[in-house]
Structure formats: structure tokens, C-alpha cells
Amino acid sequence: MTSYGRGLRGLSVATIATITVALALVFFYAPLDANQGFIQKIFYIHVPLAIVALCGFVVGGLLAIAHLRTGDRKWDLRSYVAIHMALIFGVGGLITGSIWAKASWGHWWVWSDPTLVSFLIVMLLFATYQPLRFSIEDPERQARYASVFAIVAGAFVPLNFIAVRMAQGVVHPRVLTLTGGRLPGSMGLTFAVSLLGIALLYATLWNYEIAAKRARMQLRRLRRAALGDDAAGALGRSAAPS
Amino acid sequence: MVDQDQQPAIELRGLTRRFGERAALNNVTVQVPTGTTLAVLGRNGAGKSTLLRILATLLRPHGGEVSVLGERLPQRAHVVRSRVGLLGHEPLLYRDLSGRENLHYHAQLHCVAPERVERLIEAVGMGKRADDPVRALSRGMVQRLAVCRAVLHEPAVLLLDEPRANLDPAAVELIEPLIGSGNGHTRVLTSHDPGPAIEDADLVLGLRDGKAAFVRPPGEVGAQQLRELYG
Amino acid sequence: MRATFAVLAKDLRLELRTFETLPAMVLFSLSTFVIFHFALGRSAVGGQLAAGILTVTLLFAALLGAGRLFVAEREQGGFDAFLLAPVDRTSLLAAKAAAMFLFLALLEVVAVPAFGVLLLGPALGPRLPGLIAVLALADLALAVIGTLVSAIAIHTRARDMISPIIGLPLLLPALIATARAAAPVLSVHGSGAPPGKWLLILALYDVVFALIAYAVFDFLLED
């Protein structure tokens, strides 16, 4: 018997709980930034979104390696969902980053920030993942090529950050570095909890999407087995692996 | 040790190949003894070309077992590759290069001596036109060159998809010694036209929607079997 | 190795026969220089601006050329022909990347002097050795990524679109390095020597992506 969404309830509860705690910390515990004021608090959602998105891309690449090595299509599904979720989180990261940039520095976009620029480049690359999948009709080939792409793009992420950082040269005076080096204690705690919340949200949504897709595929398989090859109907336009 | 003569040249056991959610080939089982000819019949989309491409190592089997000349596919594909020759719908020749240049390219890839290229060109009667670009040749000439390409590396197994297409009787006579049944090759032949294929065969496999409808000697393939396939 | 040479020789012979790729790349580059002249409103550029223009022009010419790399294979059965041969599949990658590198080198033989005449402020002559060093490494990057991306795109429906949209972000680090390395070479008061740091980054990029391409290429060919 297949079960769908095992452990999903527990994960969802943990996610909601953590995010609630994080929000409480953000609004009631974390100190107000002297320079930027209230708007600085968007950092608690912007940076976790960006970090989780980048990790999601790298994880997508690792899952793609598993797919190519084993030939088992379930890894391709996992890789697809990881990347597609990471893209959504990444767009959120870009938007919140832009809002923060406008509030802090007066511009919607700043080239002097290497992290933001690297992130944009990575997003431009991964935004081509779904168009690539869409444009390959043979399902086996689509899965294989998508995995090749995910591996190349996943390896690209760290390389890109290094190159752009070196290009910008100037160390932009930001409050934080990705390692959270200079955050005072209370901010650090809030940040850590927010990061955990966003990461759990990602994991929960990932599991939900996988469960939904697996259930749909199984339904199609059963319909085909019971009612003949044509009973399942054509799959709608979707980049998702079948 | 299994006696090499006893072991079938081609063995398929439960061969399956999917295309997305559908099965292009579904649980096909057949054995082809060495030196014999298998005719594969069926409608368009029945799986004939897929079967040939799997035997040619161009496609991997998704299920079941495939052995060619005792070597398992896909693990031993690199060994099988040098022992099978495929003559498909496409001639696999670059249109802007001459026949001779194309064949020498294949000869280099297969480690075949250049002299063999010249002998084959003469054998199919293309001596005078071998230096013309392929795009300037008639379909019959292109087909003759394609036959040369298929047998260039002296394969033990020939995979032939409509080998006589585009050829006039004189040309058919020229290629017969290369791909005909007389040379001890093991052959797998597909055709839309059941009549001539059955005549040429020692065994007939009928495919319908990817499944093996029947595996019979040619003498036992009658109107009823053909209706199963095409009706 | 033998297979790599066979494929490369075949491709060069085809190019000589049809002239489909290289002349187009050259013409495209020359037109692009003219466009830059009008778009920027400048008659002479130097330093970072010159490096940027040259880099971008080469990039787009490379993507144009890369798009043609596998077309004959796809349309005339060349993939099957290669896959039926008992050869190492990565020799196709090596052969195509080598062809791409050669095309870029030949392109630069025309385009760089043209750039020197049309747009470059400082004299090209004394700056040539430094520039060649930068371009050699840049061409490697363009060749490897161009081949990889083209091999991915050739089996898609929208191959002319997919190639650039994947290739451009992937090439960005290499482009940054190329433009930054060429800037001091092409500036009026520059030493003429490209900065070591950027050459190193470019070289590392070449090595890393060559290895990645080598590792994944087989999966693009098999079926």
C-alpha cells in the first residue's frame, strides 16, 4: 500500500509553530535597527528566503545526480520539485531584497551588492529550467536533460558567487554577511528562528507537492490499467515529470 | 560452456520499452538462431523500429532481457556495437559530403581499412558517382551508399528496415550479396509489406501495439495471423 | 582520440564545403561593432568600455556559432552515425568544442584587427600579446559551454531560444573575468599585461566546466 504525505501533518505543525514564533520574535523581540528603522525587519524574511532558495537549487542538483546514477524517475520528480520550489522562494527573495534596498539605500536595485547580483544571475539561469523541460517532448529525454541541467546549474551556484564577489571588489558595508558574523545576539536568535521557519516551510511544501504529484500519477496508472490506455486523458501542458 | 552454435544470436525475454506512460514494446520474447532471418511485421507504431533500434544499441531496454551474440544489453552495448549493422529509414550520410567522404568517416569511426570502402563502392556500382555530394544523388543511389555504410564493419548481425525501399531491380541485385540471406548473417528484417518479408524469413514475429501477437515459422503465418496484426 | 580527430576533420570539411558558420560569425561581429559605434555615440573607446564591447561581441558571435554545432547531426542522422560506432561518447564533446574553439580563433583573426581599426582608441599592436592570452582562455570557456548548451538545446523544440537563455547566465562569470582582464590591456595608460587574478579565475572556470561537461555529456547522448 502506498501512502502519500507520510509525516506531513507533523511537519506542517512544526512549520506553523516555528513561523509563528519567528514572527513574534521579529515584531516583539528583535531590536529596532538604529539606521534603517522598522523596514530593516524585512531582512528576517529576505535573507532566509534567499538562503533556502540557493540551498534548494543545490539540493536539486544533488537529486539530479541520484537520478542519473540510478535511472529511477522518482529522483527526477524530487529534483524538479526542489528546483521549482526554490525558484518561487527565490522570486520572493528578490522582491523582498528589492524592497529592502529601496528602503535602506533609496534604490530598487543596487549593483554594488555582490550577493544580490549573484543571486539575480542564478535566478536567470534557473528560470530556464521549466522552459527547457517544456520544450522536450520525449519524457525520458526530458528527465535526463533536466537532470544534466540541474547538475550544471547547481555546480554553477557557488562558482558564480565567488566570481561576482571578486568582481565587485568593494566590501559593501552591510549589516550582515551570510555567515551572520556581526549580528548582535537578539538579532541573531531572531534570524536563526526565521531561517528555520522558512526552511521548514520549504520542506513542507516540497513534501506536499511530491505527494500530490505521486497521487495523481498513481491515479492515472490505475485508470489506465482498469479502463484501457486512453482512459487517463492527455496530460495538460506541464513541465512536471510524469 | 554453451556451444556458440547452439546459442541464439539474438535473445529477447520480456523486452519492454516505454515512451512516457505508454509501452512502445511490451513483454516481447523471441529467439533468433544464428544465421537465420527474423521478419518483424506490424502496423505503423507497432514497435518495429523501436525493436531494431534497441538491437542496434541506440535505445536502452526499460525492462526484460536482451542479448545479442551472447552479450547483454545495455551493459555490453559497446561490444555489440561493432557487431551489428543498422540500415534504417535514414541513410545517416551528410548531404554536403560525397559518398566516399561519408564512408571514409564511418570507416574511421569503426576502425575499418580504407580499401574496404573502395571495394564496397565498386560492389554497389557507385564508382562513378562516389565523389558527388550526397544531396546530388538519387534516392536509389543514396540507399546503395547506406547499404555500404551498414555493412562496412562486417557485422555478424544485420538490422534492416525496409532494405529494398527506393531501389530498382538492378540495384536490388547489387546489394543482395551484401545484405542477403546467403552470407551467414543473422538478420532482423522489418517491412510494411508482409508478403516479401515472409518469403525471406525463417521466423516471423508479429507485433501489435508493442506486444508480440505471434512468433511463428513463415509457413504457419496465414490470413488469420495477418488479420490479427493489421485488421 | 582517433574518433575525436575523425569527427573534427569531418566538421572542418563540412564547414569548408558549406561556409555556413564562420562567415556569419564574422559578419555578425563586424555589424555589432558598427552598432556599438552608433548606440554609444563613440568613435574611440578604451579601457573597460573597449573590453566590454569586445567581450560582448565575441559572446554573441559564439552563441550564434554554437547554435549551428549540432544541426547537421540532428537533421542528417549524424547522432545515430556516431552512436553506432564503438567509440567513447565524450569524443564528440571534445571534437565539437575543438571545432568551436577553432572557429572562435579564426573569427578573432578578423574581428580583433577590425575592432582595432573601427573602435579601439589605443593602438592594438603592442597590446596584442596580452589580449591573445585573455582571448585564448575566454575562447575555451565559450567553446566548452557553447558545446554543452548546444547539445542540450538541439533536442528541444525551441533550440534557437534555449541555447542563449541557458548559455548567457552560465557564461557570466567567464565574461566578467574576460572583460576585467582585458580592460587594463586595452586602456591607454595600461601596462598591456592582463591582471593575473582574472586570468586565474578564467582558467579555473575553464577547468571546472570542462570537467563538468565531460562528466555529464554521456547522458545527453544516450537514450
Q: C197 versus C91: which is more confidently predicted?
A: C91
State residue B43's pLDDT score.
Answer: 87
- A149 shares contact with chain C (CB less than 8 Å): yes
Q: What is d(CA B48, CA B54) in angstroms, rounded to the nearest whole number?
A: 10
Residue A38 has pLDDT above 60, yes or no: yes
Contact flag C162-A149 (C-beta cutoff 8 Å): no
| Higher pLDDT, residue A5 or B57 | B57
**The C-alpha cell that represents B57 in the structure block:** 544499441
Residue for cell digits 597590446?
C127
Residue in chain B nearest C91 by alpha carbon: B109
* A222: contact with C, CB 8 A cutoff: no
Is the pLDDT score of A176 beyond 50? no
pLDDT of residue A175: 46
**Which residues of chain C lie closer than 8 angstroms to B97, CB-CB?**
10, 13-14, 17
C123-129: long-range contacts (C-beta < 8 A, 24 or more apart)?
C126/C192, C127/C185, C127/C186, C127/C190, C127/C192, C129/C192
Please state the rounded mean pLDDT for residues C102-109. Answer: 97
Would you state the torsion angle of the CA atoms of residues B176, B182, B187, B188, taken in this order, to the nearest 10 degrees?
60
pLDDT band at A187, cuts 50/70/90?
Answer: confident
Q: Helix, strand or coil for residue A183?
A: coil
Distance from C-alpha of A127 to C-alpha of B149, rounded to nearest angstrom: 43
Q: Judge whether A61 lies within some domain.
A: yes
Residue numbers in B near A140 (CB within 8 A): 18-20
Residues 131-190 of C with CB under 8 A from B: none
Chain C within 8 Å of B132 (Cβ-Cβ)?
no
pLDDT at C4: 96
DSSP state, A31? Answer: P
Say if residue C110 is exposed, middle or buried (CB neighbours under 10 Å; 0-12, 13-18, 19+): middle
Q: Which residue of B has its CA nearest to C79?
A: B92
pLDDT tens, A152-175?
Answer: 999 999 888 877 777 766 444 454
On the question of a cis peptide bond just before residue B74, with omega within 30 degrees of 0, the verdict is yes
Distance from CA of C90 to the nearest CA of A (A): 15
How many Å lie between the alpha carbon of B21 and the closest alpha carbon of chain A? 8
- What band does C8 get if pLDDT is binned at 50, 70 and 90? very high
Rg value, chain A, Cα? 20
Which residue among C84, C87, C222 places its CB closest to the CB of B56?
Answer: C84
How far are the Cα atoms of A147, A234, C141 from residue C97, in angstroms, in the given order? 22, 40, 10
Task: Record the pTM.
Answer: 0.90
Task: Say whether residue A131 is in contact with chain C using an 8 A CB cutoff.
Answer: yes
Compare B2 and B40 and report the one with higher pLDDT: B40
- Residues of B within an 8 Å Cβ radius of A: 18-22
* CA angle, A36 then A39 then A42, to 5°: 120
Give burial (CB, 10 Å; 0-12/13-18/19+) of A179: exposed
Question: Which amino acid is residue A5, in one-letter code?
Answer: G
- CA dihedral for B160, B162, B166, B172, sign (positive or negative): positive
Q: How far is CA B62 from its chain centroid?
A: 21
Residues 88-147 of A with CB under 8 A from B: 138-140
What pLDDT, in 10s, does the model give residues C138-163?
Answer: 999 999 999 999 999 999 988 888 99
| B82 chain-C contacts, CB cut-off 8 A | 86
Q: Are B129 and B145 in contact (CB under 8 A)?
A: no
pLDDT value, residue A159: 84
Closest residue, chain C, to B78 (C-alpha):
C86
β-pairing, B63-68 with B211-216? unpaired
Q: In the beta sheet, which residues pair with residue B206?
A: B41, B214
Q: Do B21 and A220 touch (CB under 8 A)?
A: yes
Confidence of residue C196 (pLDDT cuts 50, 70, 90): confident
Q: Choose among B94, B101, B110: nearest Cβ to C76.
A: B94
Residue of A nearest to B18 (CA): A140
Distances (CA, A) of C82 to B105, B113, C95: 10, 18, 12
Lowest mean pLDDT of A88-102, A218-232, B88-102, name the range: A218-232
Chain mean pLDDT for chain A:
84
Chain A residues whose CB is inside 8 A of the B18 CB are 140
Q: Which of B145, B92, B103, A129 lies closest to C74 in space, CA to CA?
A: B92
The helix or strand, by DSSP H or E, that contains position B177, with its residue range, turns out to be helix B169-179
| Nearest in space to B120 (alpha carbons), one of B85, B163, B149, B160 | B149
> Any CB–CB contact under 8 A between A156 and chain C?
yes
Q: DSSP for chain C, please give it.
A: -HHHHHHHHHHHHHHHHH--SHHHHHHHHHHHHHHHHHHHT-S-B-HHHHHHHHHHHHHHHHHHHHTTTTHHHHHTTHHHHHHTSSS-THHHHHHHHHHHHHHHHHHHHHHHHHHHHHTBSS-SGGGHHHHHHHHHHHHHHHHHHHHHHHHHHTTSTTHHHHHHHHHHHHHHHHHHHHHHHHHHHTSTT--SS--HHHHHHHHHHHHHHHHHHHHHHHHHH--
Backbone angles phi, psi at C119, to 5 degrees: -125, -25
The reply to whether A220 falls in a domain is no
What local confidence, expressed as pLDDT, does residue A178 receive?
43
CB-nearest to C158 from A121, A125, A135 is A135
Which range has highest mean pLDDT (A98-107, A125-134, B14-23)? A125-134
Higher-confidence residue: B142 or A39? Answer: B142
User: Is C172 close to A144, i.e. CB distance below 8 A?
Assistant: no
Cα A148 to Cα A160: distance, rounded to the nearest angstrom: 18
Instruction: Provide the shortest C-alpha distance from residue A217 to chain C (in Å).
Output: 23
Instruction: Report whether pLDDT(B166) > 80.
Output: no
Domain of residue A163 covers 8-212
With beta carbons under 8 A apart, name residues in chain B contacting A229. 22
Q: Say whether pLDDT at A45 is over 70.
A: yes
| A207 belongs to a structural domain | yes
Q: Residue A108 pLDDT > 70, yes or no?
A: yes
The pairing of strands B186-191 and B37-42 is parallel
Q: Identify residue B96 by its one-letter amino acid code.
A: D
The rounded distance, in Å, linking the Cα atoms of B78 and B28 is 23
Which chain C residue has the Cα nearest residue A158?
Answer: C173
* Contact assessment for residue B39 and residue B205, using Cβ atoms and an 8 Å cutoff: yes
A223 touching chain B per CB within 8 A = no
Q: Whole-angstrom Cα distance, residue B86 to residue B179? A: 11
Please report whether residue A225 resides in a domain.
no
Instruction: Tell me the three cell numbers of residue C191.
Output: 601596462
Quick check: A224 and B21 CB within 8 A?
yes
Q: Is pLDDT larger for residue B168 or for residue A30? A: B168
Q: Closest Cα partner for C104 from C78, C135, C145, C127?
A: C135
In the predicted structure, residue C164 carries a pLDDT above the cut 90: yes
- Closest residue of chain A to B62, computed from CA coordinates: A71
> B19, A139: Cβ pair inside 8 Å?
yes
Lowest-confidence segment of A14-18, A39-43, B139-143, B172-176 by average pLDDT: A39-43
Whether A163 is covered by a domain: the verdict is yes
Q: Which residue has the higher pLDDT, A139 or C214?
A: C214
Q: Is residue C78 scored above 50 in pLDDT?
A: yes
Predicted confidence at residue C105, as pLDDT, reads: 97
Residue type at B13?
Answer: R
Residue C126 contacts residue C188 (beta carbons within 8 Å): no
Question: What CATH number corresponds to the domain at position A48?
Answer: 1.20.120
pLDDT at A234: 63
Q: Coil, strand, or helix at residue A89?
A: helix
Distance CA A9, CA C96 (A): 52
End-to-end CA distance of chain A: 20
Mean pLDDT for C43-65 is 93
Give percent above pLDDT 70 in chain B: 98
Q: CA of C168: which chain A residue's CA is closest?
A: A125
C41 CB near a chain B CB, below 8 Å? no
Rounded CA-CA distance B101/B134 in Å is 10
Number of domains present in the structure of chain A: 1
SS3 A195: helix
Instruction: Tell me which chains share at least 3 CB pairs under 8 Å with chain A.
Output: B, C
Establish if B83 touches chain C: CB-CB under 8 angstroms.
Answer: no
Q: Higher pLDDT residue, C157 or C189?
A: C157
Asked if pLDDT for residue B142 goes beyond 90, the answer is: yes
| Residues written for chain A | 242
Q: Is A53 helix (H, G, I), strand (E, B) or coil?
A: helix
